[in-house]
């Protein structure tokens, strides 16, 4: 059996997606997501110029060997572009293997560990009252876990506050949007938000919050402590994690559970965080961490240290990534939660999928493979548009972490 063709499809049904489709001499095809938000074309070139020529003629059943060939064989290892390209190949190969076996992918991974994958939705509002209402709407929709983000008094724009109720999309067409950040205003406000949420909805719903890399370790420790009375499910990306050791200081001061890792690419980015038990949830996604072959190893390593999974699932991760993630989540023994930001109707139509939402959970569905495909004719109606994530500056103009 041979891989006899490969195609990279870029489309923008509301936002940009990069999709790899592999074709075999036996007619079975597979698809993988390769989207890196705001740097899409770099992955396209990496795949077209450097990966696909090495794939043609290879046996698609040899997933492990192809993974090692692309990882070790590149010499220049790791990084988001490389690992997204490897992930796209890996997920397409798992899709092919599961289709050949006539099984949903979860059955190849070891079978289901649970009925449905608990997801958390994104509630947001311009101010405290709007955010409290938005969380209520997610509870009415059946969500058991909800991330709450709110506009901050005195700041024109805040991370996580979007257009409308059920969608949040940070990337924008054109050059990067400039936003202004002030840590003092934010830190004074967030505990009030979670106090109001517990007053309104009691101890039942799991509540989550994403700091989005804005704080220093000491400020993160202060926030974690201030939020302890409200029993968060997790506090996410409290400080940038290039320096894994930085989380030790946060950990020493607070029992608020910590989640990190959506921007990580390999096990090496998380090794110290996990083995020193500095975090509770590892957030790496199928698309940005080398596919199922690598994410499985990270999850097994995390299980040794009692760390659970909480895969990134924002809208820039395409339905193909979501489909693969849900098969992984349904299997992985140390599952925590799966992020779920709904895609637009246009995106859902371009990527027909077997997964569905029911009672606060996503279900991978019963289709063979990972259950997600791309409608190429429809995709062609939505050409690529250059888009970027915003950037952040302090009030005096200093560049900060967005
Ligand atoms: O900003 O996926 O937890 N979710 C997030 C996302 C990220 C985007 C970046 O591309 O932090 O909203
Ligand atoms: Co995040």
The pLDDT, as a whole number, for residue 165 is 62
* Pocket flag, ligand 1, residue 314 (CB < 6 Å): yes
Kindly report the protein residue whose alpha carbon is nearest to atom 12 of ligand 1.
314
How confident is the model at residue 27, as a pLDDT?
97
Place of tokens 């849900």: 326
Nearest to 213 by CA among 159, 169, 251: 159
Alpha helices in 202-316 (DSSP H): 217-227, 246-253, 271-275, 291-304
Cα separation, 134 vs 361, whole angstroms:
19
Residue 189 bears catalytic tag: no
170 close to ligand 1 (CB < 6 Angstrom): yes
159 is catalytic: yes
Is the dihedral angle over the CA atoms 223, 224, 226, 231 positive or is it negative? positive
Greatest alpha-carbon pair distance for the chain in Å reads: 61
Superfamily for 3-104?
Answer: Enolase-like, N-terminal domain (3.30.390.10)
| pLDDT score for 168 | 78
How many other CB atoms sit within 10 Å of the CB of residue 395?
12
Total-model pTM: 0.97
Both structure tokens of 16 = 């940009």
What b/e readout covers 284-310, taking b as 16+ CB neighbours within 10 angstroms? bbbbbbbbbbbbbebbebbeebebbbb
Rounded CA gap, 128 and 190, in Å? 9
Cα-Cα end-to-end distance for the chain: 46
| CA dist., res. 70 & res. 232, Å (int) | 39
pLDDT for 164 equals 64
pLDDT of residue 9: 98
Query: For ligand 1, atom 9, which residue shows the shortest CA distance?
Result: 37
Q: So what CATH class is 109-369?
A: alpha beta
**Distance between CA atoms of 32 and 104, rounded to whole angstroms?**
16
The best mutation among 147, 238, 262 to test binding of ligand 1, ranked by most ligand atoms within 8 Å of the C-beta, falls on 262
- What's the pLDDT at 162? 78
Q: Where are the domains of the chain?
A: 3-104, 109-369
Atom of ligand 1 nearest to the CA of 236: 3
Two tokens, residue 397: 């103009």
Ligand nearest to the CA of 147: 1
User: Which tokens go with 254?
Assistant: 């607070």
Average pLDDT for consecutive 10-residue bins of the chain (402 residues)?
98 98 98 98 98 98 98 97 98 98 98 98 96 97 98 92 75 94 97 98 98 98 98 98 96 98 98 98 98 98 98 98 98 98 96 98 98 98 97 97 97
């Amino acid at each position: 059996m041979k891989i006899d063709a490969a195609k990279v499809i870029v489309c923008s049904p509301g936002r940009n997606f990069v999709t790899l489709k592999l074709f075999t001499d036996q007619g079975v095809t597979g698809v993988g997501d390769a989207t890196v938000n705001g740097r899409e074309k770099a992955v396209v070139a990496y795949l077209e110029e450097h990966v696909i020529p090495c794939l043609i003629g290879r046996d698609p059943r040899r997933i492990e060997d192809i993974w090692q060939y692309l990882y070790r064989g590149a010499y220049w290892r790791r990084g988001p572009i490389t690992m997204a390209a490897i992930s796209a190949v890996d997920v397409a190969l798992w899709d092919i293997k599961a289709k050949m076996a006539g099984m949903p992918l979860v059955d190849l991974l070891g079978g289901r560990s649970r009925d449905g994958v608990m997801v958390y939705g994104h509630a947001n509002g311009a101010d405290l009252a709007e955010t409290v209402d938005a969380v209520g709407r997610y509870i009415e929709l059946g969500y058991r876990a909800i991330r709450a983000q709110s506009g901050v008094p005195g700041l024109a724009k805040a991370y996580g506050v979007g257009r409308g109720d059920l969608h949040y999309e940070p990337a924008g067409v054109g050059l990067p949007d400039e936003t202004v950040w002030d840590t003092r205003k934010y830190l004074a406000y967030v505990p009030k938000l979670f106090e109001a949420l517990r007053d309104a909805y009691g101890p039942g719903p799991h509540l989550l919050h994403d700091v989005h890399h804005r704080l220093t370790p000491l400020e993160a420790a202060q926030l974690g402590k201030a939020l302890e009375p409200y029993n968060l499910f997790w506090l996410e990306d409290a400080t940038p994690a290039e320096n894994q050791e930085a989380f030790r200081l946060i950990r020493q001061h607070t029992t608020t559970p910590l989640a990190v890792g959506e921007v990580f690419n390999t096990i090496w980015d998380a090794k110290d965080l996990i083995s020193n038990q500095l975090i509770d949830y590892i957030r790496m996604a199928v698309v940005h961490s080398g596919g199922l072959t690598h994410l499985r190893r990270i999850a097994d390593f995390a299980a040794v240290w009692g760390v659970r999974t909480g895969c990134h699932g924002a809208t820039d991760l395409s339905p193909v990534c979501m489909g693969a993630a849900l098969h992984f989540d349904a299997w992985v023994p140390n599952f925590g939660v799966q992020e779920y930001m709904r895609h637009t109707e246009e995106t859902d139509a371009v990527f027909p999928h077997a997964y569905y939402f029911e009672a606060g959970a996503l279900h991978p569905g019963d289709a063979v493979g990972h259950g997600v495909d791309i409608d190429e004719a429809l995709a062609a109606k939505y050409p690529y548009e250059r888009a970027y994530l915003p950037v952040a500056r302090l009030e005096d103009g200093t560049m900060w972490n967005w």
